Structure formats: structure tokens, C-alpha cells
Amino acid sequence: MTTPDPVPRNLPANMCPPHLLGRCARCLAPCHRYGVGGSPLCQTHQAEVAKLQNPVS
């Protein structure tokens, strides 16, 4: 059986297919930027932004 969705989520850069890699808009680190689950921010900065948008305390 084949997997229907090989890139289901935002991936760490070291697990991301090269054609989906780009540079984080903030720190220019390689990140999963394109395709399904892609983001213009690296995972570190995604987490930072998510925290700012949804403060726990």
C-alpha cells in the first residue's frame, strides 16, 4: 500500500523534502516553508508566535 499523504504536517527542516524547504522570515533558518503544512516561520518562531497570539497565563 502507498501512503496517500507523504507530507501531512509542518515538518522539522531535517525531515522535510528539499523542494519544500525555505528560509524562516525571521531568522533565515531552513524550515518547511512550502506545500501542505508549510509555514514562513521556522518551528522555533512558529511556537513563539503561537504563544504571543494565545498566551497561557
For Zn ion, the binding residues (CB under 5 A) are 24, 26-27, 42, 45
| Nearest-approach distance from CB 50 to Zn ion, in angstroms | 13
Indicate the residue among 5 and 16 with the shorter CB distance to Zn ion.
Answer: 16
Indicate the residue among 20 and 42 with the shorter CB distance to Zn ion.
Answer: 42
Distances (CA, A) of 50 to 18, 24, 41, 53, 54: 25, 15, 11, 5, 6
Q: 33, 44 in Cβ contact below 8 A?
A: no
| Nearest-approach distance from CB 15 to Zn ion, in angstroms | 17
